[in-house]
Amino acid sequence: MSPKLRKFVDRLPIMEPLKPLQKSNRGLYYEMRMVEHRQKLHRDLPPTRLWGYNGQFPGPTIEVNRGEQAEVKWINNLPAKHLLPVDSSIHDLRDVPEVRTVTHLHGGETPWDSDGYPEAWFTNNFAETGPFFQREVYQYPNKQRATTLWYHDHAMGITRLNMYAGLAGLYIIRDNREKALGLPQGDYEIPLVIQDRTFNNDGSLFYPRQPDDADPELPDPSITPFFLGDTIVVNGKVWPYLEVEPRKYRFRILNASNTRSYQLYVDSEQSFYQIGSDGGLLPKTVRLQTIAIEPSERMDVILDFTNQKGNIVHLKNDLGPNADPADATSDIMQFRVRERLTKEDTSRLPRYLSRVHSLAEYPVTAVRYLTLNGSTDNYGRPLLLLDNKKWDDPITEKPRLDATEIWSFINVTNFTHPIHLHLIQFQILDRQPFDLDHYNETGHIKYTGPVVPPKPNERGWKDTAAVPSAEITRIIVRFTPFTGRYVWHCHILEHEDYDMMRPLLVTDSSKRKRIN
């Protein structure tokens, strides 16, 4: 348990955009070094030992314009020993270096050799590389819609540890269409990277070596099936505050926690106006009192503080009616609303935002039924699987380039999983509940309710979908614009690492290209 820390004593940091080292006809060139550093996360905590891109947590924000290619050299300058407990009993990790990294641009439409394939890892100064390592400099075309993406580590079997240590940052694509809407911008556009952590008294990160109820026969360390920190960190500060003016603000919210989902609301009872999700602007603005956000999802919202002059407003997390009153994660951060404007608020809150063309316009070439399963391993540990297959099983999802498919996720576990597909943005079609007990007894689906369309704020482009327990969640996907090896997985990081991740092979329909 973390030491008791006073809330709202540190100002919210804003991650500065990273300046490219070079600009040319080829685009922008960046270098990002992963280094160990110490950073003060709360006024009353000693500096915390962390891993960060360019020595900061979260990493610097990369901002590009649509169609402006970026190249990033991701450089591992980390020590050979991990700062967190590594379970080497999974994925044959005894045979690979303990510290290895590979960066994934989450939500990016990226060539496969720049996607951050889990086995394309590399060590300090590229001394050792994984079996699918391709290049040192990653290429990002940035031809997709304006949106909030993020980059994070994706190394096989230790993603949960590398990200918990600090390896994550924002990546924003902008375009003229979005700029023309007159949304809040500049000082009034604020990123909020929300994470949970637990700290030791000396300020160091706590992460369990084993599950709380660990069997003495388990490996030590041994992976835990989930992890919930007891302290909320936003933009690298514990329970921070932000001074705001009585006007509209745009907040780009990212849930970068390992396991925790959030039910966000503000205690002033004012509404969120959601304008965007994972893949950019929604068709029209959605007014919400509460925002549910799973790990890796992004929510682009506007909050209007015009009528809150002089007030203090809190961004909260609804823990439900049975929550422990001592659970401090019901608070996220604080807004202190000034009495006066610095300048007139001329920003707009448009009703209509963008056109989202339906993928249902394309002929569907395949329908896949994919289960989300619970199992146990040889030690009796929970083992979460996709379609009852492990990572090393033969590839079964091999869509053709430009093919449109419907994927039906059948969740037969007892909790929601955020399912993420690399390469593409998809659309949620619907969900339908079924009798889980009946399925477990017979193996057959017995529906218990009607088909339910996606929520209004899910009707844009998504790369991560909440797949609730005892429901079938259907998405429609068009596999474009690249071929190659990608992955799909649960974005609860403890699940992803063991073993709720599967390879995905997009093949060339013309058969002119050979994919290794």
User: Binning pLDDT at 50, 70 and 90, where does residue 515 land?
Assistant: very low
d(CA 513, CA 507): 8
Chain centre distance of CA 154? 11
Match 């967190």 to its residue by tokens: 84
Q: pLDDT, tens digit, for every residue of 331-363?
A: 999 999 999 999 999 999 999 999 999 999 999
CB neighbours of residue 458 within 10 Å: 18
| pLDDT, position 212 | 80
Question: Distance between CA 284 and CA 47 in Å, rounded?
Answer: 44
Instruction: State which fold the 359-506 domain adopts.
Output: Immunoglobulin-like (2.60.40)
Residue type, 28: L
Average pLDDT of 408-429?
98
Instruction: Report, as an integer, the average pLDDT of 448-462.
Output: 98
- Summarised one tens digit per residue, pLDDT across range 171-197 is 999 999 999 999 999 999 999 999 999
| Rg from Cα positions in the chain | 22
**What pLDDT digit, counting tens, does each position of 27-38 carry?**
999 999 999 999
Cis bond leading into 60, ω under 30°? no
High-pLDDT (> 70) share of the chain, %: 98
Range in 234-243, 303-312, 319-328, 386-395 with the lowest mean pLDDT: 319-328
pLDDT digit string (tens) for 467-496?
Answer: 999 999 999 999 999 999 999 999 999 999
In three-state secondary structure terms, 383 is: strand
- State yes or no: pLDDT of 513 exceeds 60: no
The pLDDT, as a whole number, for residue 207 is 98
User: What's the token pair of residue 153?
Assistant: 């580590």
The shares of helix, strand and coil residues in the chain, as percent rounded to the nearest 5, are: 10, 40, 50
pLDDT per residue over 73-114, tens digit each?
999 999 999 999 999 999 989 999 999 999 999 999 999 999
Q: How far apart are CA 463 and CA 14, in angstroms?
A: 25
Long-range CB contact pairs, 49-53, < 8 A, 24+: 49/83, 49/203, 49/204, 49/205, 50/165, 50/166, 50/205, 51/78, 51/83, 51/162, 51/165, 51/166, 51/167, 52/166, 52/167, 53/151, 53/167, 53/168, 53/169
Segment 289-306 mean pLDDT: 98
Alpha helices, DSSP H, located in 173-332:
176-179
Contact between 409 and 473 (Cβ < 8 Å): yes
Task: Label residue 510 by pLDDT band (50, 70, 90).
Answer: low
The answer to whether 337 touches 308, Cβ cutoff 8 Å, is yes
Name which of 238, 179, 192 is nearest 40 in CA terms. 238
114-129: average pLDDT: 98
**Cβ contact 1:201 at 8 Å:** no
d(CA 150, CA 195): 14
Condensed to tens digits (0 to 9), the pLDDT of residues 136-170 reads 999 999 999 999 999 999 999 999 999 999 999 99
For 186-337, the fitting CATH number among 2.60.40.420, 3.40.50.970, 3.40.50.150, 3.40.190.10 is 2.60.40.420
**Where, residue-wise, is CATH 2.60.40.420 in the chain?**
22-174, 186-337, 359-506
Q: Around Cβ 333, how many Cβ atoms within 10 Å?
A: 24
Residue 510 to residues 399, 402, 468, 483, Cα–Cα distance (Å): 13, 11, 37, 11
Coil, helix or strand at residue 441: helix
Q: Which CATH number fits domain 22-174: 2.60.40.420, 1.10.10.10, 3.90.1640.10, 3.30.300.30?
A: 2.60.40.420
DSSP 8-state symbol, 51: E
Element (H, E) at 484: strand 484-490
| pLDDT value of position 511 | 52
Dist. CA 5–CA 239, nearest whole Å: 9
pLDDT of residue 211: 87
Q: Where residue 215 falls among pLDDT bands split at 50, 70, 90?
A: confident
Helix/strand/coil for 301: strand
Quick check: 439 pLDDT over 80? yes
| Three-class SS state of 407 | strand
Helix (H, G, I), strand (E, B) or coil at 160: helix
What average pLDDT does the structure give for the chain? 96
Is a pLDDT exceeding 60 seen at residue 512?
no
Backbone angles phi, psi at 264, to 5 degrees: -85, 140
Q: Are 87 and 93 in contact (CB under 8 A)?
A: yes
